[in-house]
Structure 1
Amino acid sequence: MAGHAVYDLFVIGGGINGCGIARDAAGRGYGVALAEAKDFASGTSSAATKLIHGGLRYLEHYEFRLVREALMEREVLWAMAPHIIRPMRFVLPYHKGGIRPAWLIRLGLFLYDHLGGRKLLPATRSLDMRRDPAAKPLKPLFTKAFEYSDGWVDDARLVVLNARDAADKGADIFARTAVVSARRENGVWVIGLRKDDGTASEVRARMLVNAAGPWVDHVLAEALGRNDVHNVRLVQGSHIVVRRKFDDPRAYFFQNPDNRIIFAIPYENDFTLIGTTDRDYTADPRKAAISSEEISYLCRAASEYFAEPVREEDIVWTYSGVRPLFDDGASKAQEATRDYVLKVEGEDGNAPLLNVFGGKLTTYRRLAEHALEKIGEAIGEKGKPWTAGSHLPGGGFVPTAYEAQVTSLKAKFGFLGDAHARRLVRLYGTLAADMLGNARSLDNLGRHFGGDLYECEVRWLMAREWARSAEDVLWRRTKRGLYLSREEAAALDDYMAGIAASSAA
C-alpha cells in the first residue's frame, strides 16, 4: 500500500487544506502520503458558497491581515486554475435606512479595491438602479447600488485537482481510507489505516499533519488518544438552489436586518444559489443537513430584495456543511474568526505533529505555504515555495482565454454542442480534449447517462479523480445531479459499481 518505507509527511484529510499541503510538499520533493476517510471534498470543502473572495464583511471585524491575504490570492488562484475559477461582479443594493450607511460601504469597498494589489479585476463602481439592468429582478425601493469584483470557484474540483497534482508529483493518495491510530515509535509516527473494504495496514512517517477539518479534534481524541480537546468551533452553513431568478451574469450581495449577509449567485446556467446561514453546530458533521428554520430564513431574506418572492417550493436542491472555525471565544457564530491557525507539537524532532485549525478556500494556497514553513522548521527544508506561478491540471491557459479554449474544443470535436463544450472546458480545461480522445461523434463517447453525461467522462473521473459512486460524479466532480433523474442516477451508480467490481477482480 505504501510507496515509501518512511514518508517525510503524512497528511490526514482530503479537504482543501490537506490536499493543498500535500501538493505543495510533493512539489518540493518531500515524500508525501495523504489519507481521506471518504471522498475528496465530501465535507466542508464542497459545501461552501463557492467564492474566491476577500471577505468584505470580515473588515467589520477588523480581520485586515486575512482580508489582505485573501484579496491578493484572488488573481493568483484565477491564473492557476482559470477553468474552474472565474471573475464575478457583485451588486450590493442600497437604500436609505439600511443596516450599514453608504459612507461605511464606500469605505469598505475602497479598502477592498486597494488592499490586495488588484491588477486584472475591475474596480468598484456605483450603479444608478433606475437605469441599470441589475435592478430588474429587485424591488423598486433600491435606487442605488455598489458593484465590486470577486471570484467564483468550483470548490470540489479545486480540491480534487490539488489531490491529482499531488499524486502526479509523487504523493501517495489513499482515498476512502481512515486513520484509526497514530503513535510515536522510535522517532517516527506509526499510522494505522483502514480502507472502507476493511483492509488494514500501517505506514510510517517522520511528521504528521492533522488537516481533518471539522474532525480535527476527533482525530486528536480517537486516533491519538487525546481527551477533552476543543480547538474548533463548528458553524453550520446551508444553501438553497432554486430555478434561475434573474438573467444578469452578476451576483447579488444582500444585507439582512439581523446584520448577516447572504449571496444570490448565478449557478450552473439554469439556477440561482442562495446562502449562507451561520449557526453553531454540535452534532456529527457528516449528518449536517439544512433545517426548516434555515430554509425559511434564506427564503425570507432573499424575498426582502427580489420582487418575486423565493418560495420553498422553488427549491431544487439544498446542501449544508460545517465550517471548523478556530475557537477564539467569539460570542456569535458570524463573529468567530475566519483566519487559520497552525500549531506544531513535538518540535524537538520526535515525530512532530502539525494541527491545522480553520481556513477558507481563498487562502488555502497561502495556508499550505505557511504549513510548509513549519514543516521545514520541524523536519528540515526541501525545495522553495513554488505554487504561486503554477497551474492546476487543465489550467495551463491565460485566464482571459476561456472563450478561445471553448472555440478550440468545438473545432476539434465538431459534434459537441456549445453548452456541452463550455461545461467540459469549465471542468477540465486543456485536458478536455485528452478526455474525449479520438471521439468523432456522440456515439463514440459511450453510454449516455442523461443530460450531457457520457461513459467517456465517467471513466475518466474513475481513472484519474478517484470517483467511485454516482454521488461522487453527480454532486462533486460535476453538478449533473441537477439534471439527471433519480432513475438515471441509480443507473449510473449500478454502472460504476460494476466497473469497480470488475477492476477489483
Structure 2
Amino acid sequence: MSSDTHLKTNYKTVIVGGGIVGAGIFRDLVMNGVETLLVEAGDFSSQTSERSSKMLHGGIRYLENFDFPLVFEALHEKNLWLKLTPHLAKEVPFYLPVYKDAKRPLWMIRVGLYLYDLLSSFKNSPYTTKNKNETLHDIPGLNPNGLTGAGVYYDGIMDDAKITLEVIYDALIEPHAYAINHTKVVNVRKINNKNTLTLKDEFTGVETNIVADQVVYALGPFTDQFLKQYSFYNWQDVLLPSKGSHIWISAKDLPLTHPIVMTPQDEFGDRVIFVIPHGEKVLVGTTEVPNKDDLFHVKPTEEEIQYLLKNLNVYFPNLNLNKENIIGSFAGIRPLVRDANSGADRGKTSREHRVFQPSSDTYVIAGGKYTTFRVMGREITQKICHRFGLSFNRDKTETPLRRPSVVAPFEWKLPTEEDLIQICKTEMPKTFEDLVVRRLSVPTRRIWAEKTSKSFDEYFELHLHSLIKYIKITNQDIRNFK
C-alpha cells in the first residue's frame, strides 16, 4: 500500500477529492496503468460519501421523472456491488405501505415495481405485494388506519464510508498508486503550461508543491466554492446543493425487521423518507432542503429532526418517539447539478452526473449518485488513458475488492488491541475520529453503547499507549468524542 509517506514532485494524474467518486476514478486509473495521486483535505469519505441514506439502489422515485437510463444503470451497478462487496452491502426487502388517501394506489405501485424489476433485467429479487393483514404481520406497530397493503421490492443497504475506503485500499495495491488524506490543496497555478498544486499538511502546516500532467476535481458539494478561486478556470456555478438530514433511532425503541418507505402527504410533495434497520440501530431520512450551513460542518436543524419524528409517529403511532430516542444524527449535501427543466426543485432535479473540462488537462465531475460511482468517471479515465497512450479496459473494475476492512459492519465485533494496531497500520486513519467513526463504524457514544457494554472511555484509554504510536490521539480527544 502506497500512502503519503514521501510525496514526489511530479505525478501523471492528481485527483482532488477523496469521496466515493474520486475513489472510483482513482481505482479505475491505476488499474489501467496510470500513475495517480489521490488527495483529500480531511479523511477519505468524511463528507458527503459517509452521509448518504446507506443504500445501493436504483432510485425508485426517479421512475416518475422518467429517468429510465439512470435507474437502469444504477440497478445494474447495485447488483454488481452486492456481488463484489457482500461483507459491506446486502439486498433486503423494502416495504412501501399504501393507504387509502395515497397519491399512488396499490395497482399503480405494482406497475412501478414491475418496471423497476424490468429495468434491472430481472436481476433484482422479484417484487411482491402484500395485503393489509400481511403487511401488519411483517411490520408490527405500523398504523393500520386506512392501510390497504404494501408493495415490496428489493434494494441494497450498505456501509457507505467503508465501501469508499475499501475502493481506495484496493487501488493502492496497484503500482504507481498513491493516496494522502488530511492534506489540503491550498493553491493551483499554471507554470509553463503545467498544473502546479500546493499541498498543505493539516497537522504540520508544511506546504509542498507538486506538478501534475492531468488534474481531476471530484469535489462534490465543494466544486463551485473551490474552482471559483482560480480565474484561469473561468468557472460558473453548476450546483444546486441539497441538504439531507438523517437520525439514528435505537432498534429497541423502533423494533423494525424490514426497511419501509414513508411517503408523507404534506407540503413537500413527492418527498420520501426511508426507515432502515442497521443492526442495533435504525436510520431515518432524508429531508431535502436548501443548505444554509458551512459546507464542512452540516448538521440537522431542529425543524428537520422534528419533521422526521413527526412522520415516524404518523406511521408508528404507538411508539411515541421523541428526541430522547435519537442516538445519533447527521446531515450531508447532495451535489445536484442544476437542471434547466426542474429549476430550483431539488426533488425533480436529475441525479445524472456531468463532466466539465475547463482546460485540456483538467477535468471536473459533479452530480450523480453514490450507486453509480464506478461508471461515472469512465469518460474521464478513458480520455486520460488515451492521453498517455494506454489502452483502456472498462471491465477491470468489475472485480472484487482485495483488501477488506478489519472491522466489517454486518459482523461487528469489539476490536482487540491487535485489530486496532492492524487498522492503524493498513487503513490510513490519522485521527481518533478517523479510527472510531469510519474504521470502526461508530459515529456516536450512544451507538457505541448499543453495540457493546464495554465503557467507551475505559476501552480507548486502555489502548491509548498503543494507538498513540500511529495516530494523533490524546485522552482529551477521547473525552471530547460525543
**TM-score by structure 1 length?**
0.83
| Cα separation, partners in 2 of 1:492 and 1:304, compared to 1, 3 Å | farther
Match of 1:400 in 2: none
Q: 2:162 aligns with which of 139, 153, 157?
A: 157
Match of 2:87 in 1: 83
1:107 CA displacement: 2.2
Cα distance, 1:210–1:247 mapped onto 2, change above 3 Å? same
Report the counterpart of residue 243 of structure 2 in structure 1: 236
Counterpart in the other structure of 1:419: none
- Give the Cα separation in 1 of the matches to 2:316 and 2:193: 61
- Tell me which amino acid in the other structure corresponds to 2:245: S
Q: Relative to total residues, which structure has the larger helix share, 1 or 2?
A: 1
Tell me how far apart the structure 1 counterparts of residues 214 and 234 of structure 2 sit (CA, whole Å).
21
Q: Give the fraction of aligned pairs with identical amino acids, expressed as a percent.
A: 29
User: Which deviates the most, 59-68 or 179-188?
Assistant: 179-188
Residue deviations 1:409-452, cap 9 Å, x none? xxxxxxxxxxxxxx945479xxx9xxxxxxxxxxxxxxxxxx82
Match of 1:188 among 185, 194, 198: 194
For 1:287, give the aligned amino acid.
H
Runs of 5+ in structure 2 lacking a partner?
450-454, 474-482
Partner of 2:283: 273
| Distance in 2 separating the partners of 1:394 and 1:339 | 30
User: Given the superposition, is the C-alpha separation of residues 112 and 316 from structure 1 closer, same or farther in structure 2, using an over 3 Å criterion?
Assistant: same
Report what 2:478 is aligned to. none
Distance 1:345 1:78 in 2: 36
In 1, Cα distance between the equivalents of 2:375 and 2:22? 13
User: Which residue is 2:434 aligned to?
Assistant: 472
Distance change >3 Å, CA 5–CA 90, structure 1 → 2: same
1:222 pairs with one of 211, 219, 229: 229
The aligned residue for residue 132 of structure 2 is 129
Moved more, 278-287 or 369-378: 369-378
The SS at the match of 2:352 is coil
Q: Deviations over 1:2-28 (max 9, x none)?
A: 665532210000100001100110000
Alignment pair present for 1:301 and 2:315 = no
Letter in 1 for 2:138: A
The partner residue of 2:461 within 491, 494, 497 is 491
Contact 1:30–1:382 (8 Å) recurs in 2? no
3-state secondary structure, aligned to 1:98: coil
Taking a change above 3 Å as real, the CA distance of residues 35 and 495 of structure 1, as seen in their structure-2 partners, is farther
Q: Give, in whole Å, the separation in 1 of the partners of 2:365 and 2:37.
A: 17
Partner of residue 411, structure 1: none
Question: Which residue pairs with 1:311 in the alignment?
Answer: 322
Cα contact 1:2–1:172 (8 A) shared by 2 = no
Distance 2:366 2:51 in 1: 17
Query: Is this contact kept in 2: 1:54–1:150, CA < 8 A?
Result: yes
1:346 aligns with 2:355: no
C-alpha distance in structure 2 between counterparts of 1:72 and 1:392, whole Å? 18
Deviations along 1:378-411, one digit per CA (max 9) or x if unpaired, are 5544441134530113569xxxxxxxxxxxxxxx
Shift of 1:226: 5.2
Matches within 5 A, 1:1-16: 6-16=10-20
Secondary structure, counterpart of 2:283 in structure 1: strand
Distance in 2 of aligned mates of 1:102 and 1:377: 51
**Quick one: which amino acid aligns to residue 332 of structure 1?**
D
Residue identity opposite 2:237 in structure 1: H
Residue identity opposite 2:45 in structure 1: A
Query: Does the CA-based 8 Å contact 1:70-1:362 persist in structure 2?
Result: yes
What letter is aligned with 2:92?
A: M
SS of residue in 2 equivalent to 1:181 = strand
- Greater displacement, 153-162 / 335-344: 335-344
Shift of 1:495: 5.0
Q: Summarize deviations over 1:259-306 as a string: whole Å, max 9, x none.
A: 211011111x22111001111114321110010000000001121111
Q: Map 1:61-460; keep pairs closer than 5 Å.
A: 61-119=65-123, 121-132=124-135, 133-141=137-145, 142-170=147-175, 171-196=177-202, 197-222=204-229, 229-244=236-251, 245-258=253-266, 259-267=270-278, 269-307=279-317, 308-329=319-340, 330-347=343-360, 352-376=361-385, 378-394=387-403, 424-426=407-409, 452-460=414-422
Q: Deviations over 1:154-188 (max 9, x none)?
A: 10001111111121113110111111112223343
Where 1:389 maps in the other structure, the secondary structure is coil
Alignment root-mean-square deviation, CA = 2.6
Separation of aligned partners in 2, 1:495 and 1:51? 37
Q: What is the Cα deviation at residue 309 of structure 1?
A: 3.2
**AA of the residue aligned to 1:250:** H
Letter of the 1:334 counterpart: G
Q: Deviations over 1:136-164 (max 9, x none)?
A: 12011224101000001110001111111
Which one of the candidate residues 41, 47, 51 is aligned to 1:47? 51
Q: Deviation string for 1:34-56 (max 9, x for gaps)?
A: 10001011100000001000000
Task: Give 1:373 shift.
Answer: 2.5
Aligned length: 450
Partner of residue 452, structure 2: none
The CA distance in 2 between the partners of 1:495 and 1:53, in whole Å, is 42
CA distance in 2, matches of 1:238, 1:395: 29
Identify the residue that residue 416 of structure 1 maps to in structure 2: none
2:470 is aligned with 1:500: yes
1:58/1:378 CA distance change after superposition, 3 Å: farther
Alpha-carbon spacing, 1:496–1:238, altered in 2? closer, same or farther (3 Å):
farther
SS in 2 for 1:499: coil
Query: Residues 432 and 472 of structure 2 are in contact (CA less than 8 Å); yes or no, is this contact kept in structure 1?
Result: no
Q: Aligned partners of 1:492, 1:225: CA distance in 2, in Å?
A: 52
